[in-house]
């Protein structure tokens, strides 16, 4: 009998959230559970906190359900090769194996923006899109995912592009708006610089914008002047959970 649902867990710099996902529709079958990311984001602390979150699902009758986990790092062959807003002690660790050992079960482990991009290509704003789709998540940093004719090209890091002498995410992430007390118009000027540069480099067919700020998309997307269509992520800040769960049985 085919698996009909899976658990997706999305680890971020400030919170760890998860839910049970219907794999046919991409909708959440449970309430979204969330706990705070331990201060400093050290490996043992995050492993313990995530195991605690998963135990809550097991206690609710989801024991043995496939699990996908997405993480704020470059992920290659189960190793974390970078660390965004978590401890640098993650760099170079066999993270997938560490989580599997802590959970006592197999998981699928992927970069968080890649999970969000996969979710939008399967259930959201990029379903059936041809050519190159670039999803960006605007939050503490800028994450990115490339999908070409629906196939994920993993581990792009557009937030680390250097534009005007600094990393793009330093100037244009949603955190910059909050940190520098920018209004929507001021912040969108920075987004314009970022998206225009990405558009020139890659000539995408569609931009999809995710992250928590995507729920306010009407405040800034209409102010951008691009040749490429740009739309909000259908699943907003749940895309990572949904993509991680979907890939758990891929």
> What whole-number distance in Å separates Cα of residue 79 and Cα of residue 142?
21
If asked whether residues 24 and 101 sit together in one domain, one would say: yes
The CATH number given to whatever domain includes residue 101 is 3.30.420.40
**How confident is the model over 122-168, as pLDDT tens digits?**
999 999 999 999 999 998 889 999 999 999 999 999 999 999 999 99
If asked whether residues 89 and 135 sit together in one domain, one would say: no
Q: What is the mean pLDDT of residues 85-104?
A: 95
| 70 φ/ψ angles, rounded to the nearest 5 degrees | -115, 155
pLDDT of residue 84: 81
pLDDT of residue 237: 86
If asked whether residues 221 and 151 sit together in one domain, one would say: yes
SS3 content of the chain, % helix, strand, coil (to 5): 40, 25, 35
- Count of structural domains, the chain: 2
| 102 φ/ψ angles, rounded to the nearest 5 degrees | -70, -40
Please work out, in degrees rounded to the nearest 5, the angle formed at the alpha carbon of residue 70 by the alpha carbons of 205 and 50. 160
If asked whether residues 102 and 157 sit together in one domain, one would say: no
- Indicate if the pLDDT at residue 210 is higher than 80: yes
Q: Give the structural domain span for 14.
A: 5-114+239-247
> What whole-number distance in Å separates Cα of residue 101 and Cα of residue 123?
31
> What whole-number distance in Å separates Cα of residue 244 and Cα of residue 250?
10
If asked whether residues 183 and 84 sit together in one domain, one would say: no
pLDDT of residue 153: 96
Buried b (16+ CB within 10 A) or exposed e, 169-188: bbbbbbbbbeeeeeeeeebb
pLDDT of residue 249: 85
Q: Does 55 fall in a domain?
A: yes
> What whole-number distance in Å separates Cα of residue 161 and Cα of residue 183?
24
> What whole-number distance in Å separates Cα of residue 49 and Cα of residue 218?
35
Which CA distances in Å does 245 have to 91, 117, 126, 189, 203? 24, 13, 18, 35, 30
CB neighbours of residue 89 within 10 Å? 14
Q: What is the mean pLDDT of residues 10-35?
A: 94
- Strands across the sheet with 15-22, in order? 33-36, 15-22, 5-11, 67-71, 107-111
**How confident is the model over 95-131, as pLDDT tens digits?**
999 999 999 999 999 999 999 999 999 999 999 999 9
Q: Does 168 fall in a domain?
A: yes
If asked whether residues 194 and 142 sit together in one domain, one would say: yes
Whats the size of the chain, residue-wise?
Answer: 250
pLDDT of residue 2: 64
User: What band does 38 get if pLDDT is binned at 50, 70 and 90?
Assistant: very high
């Amino acid at each position: 009998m085919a698996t009909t649902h899976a658990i997706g867990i999305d680890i971020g710099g400030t919170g760890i959230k998860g839910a049970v996902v219907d794999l046919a529709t991409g909708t959440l079958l449970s309430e979204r559970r969330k706990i705070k990311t331990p201060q400093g984001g050290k490996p043992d602390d995050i492993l313990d906190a995530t195991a605690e979150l998963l135990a809550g699902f097991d206690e609710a009758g989801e024991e043995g359900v496939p699990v996908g986990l997405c993480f704020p790092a470059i992920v290659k062959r189960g190793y974390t090769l970078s660390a965004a807003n978590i401890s640098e002690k993650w760099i170079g660790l066999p993270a997938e194996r560490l989580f599997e050992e802590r959970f006592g079960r197999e998981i699928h482990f992927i970069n968080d923006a890649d999970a969000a991009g996969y979710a939008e290509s399967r259930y959201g704003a990029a379903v059936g899109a041809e050519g190159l789709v670039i999803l960006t998540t605007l939050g503490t940093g800028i994450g990115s995912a490339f999908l070409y004719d629906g196939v994920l090209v993993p581990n792009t890091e557009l937030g680390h592009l250097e534009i005007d002498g600094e990393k793009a995410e330093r100037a244009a992430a949603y955190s910059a708006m909050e940190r520098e007390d920018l209004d929507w118009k001021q912040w969108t000027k920075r987004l314009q610089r970022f998206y225009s540069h990405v558009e020139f480099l890659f000539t995408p067919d569609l931009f999809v914008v995710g992250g928590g700020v995507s729920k306010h998309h009407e405040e800034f997307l209409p102010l951008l002047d691009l040749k490429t269509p740009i739309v909000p992520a259908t699943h907003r800040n749940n895309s990572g959970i949904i993509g991680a769960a979907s890939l758990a049985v891929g």
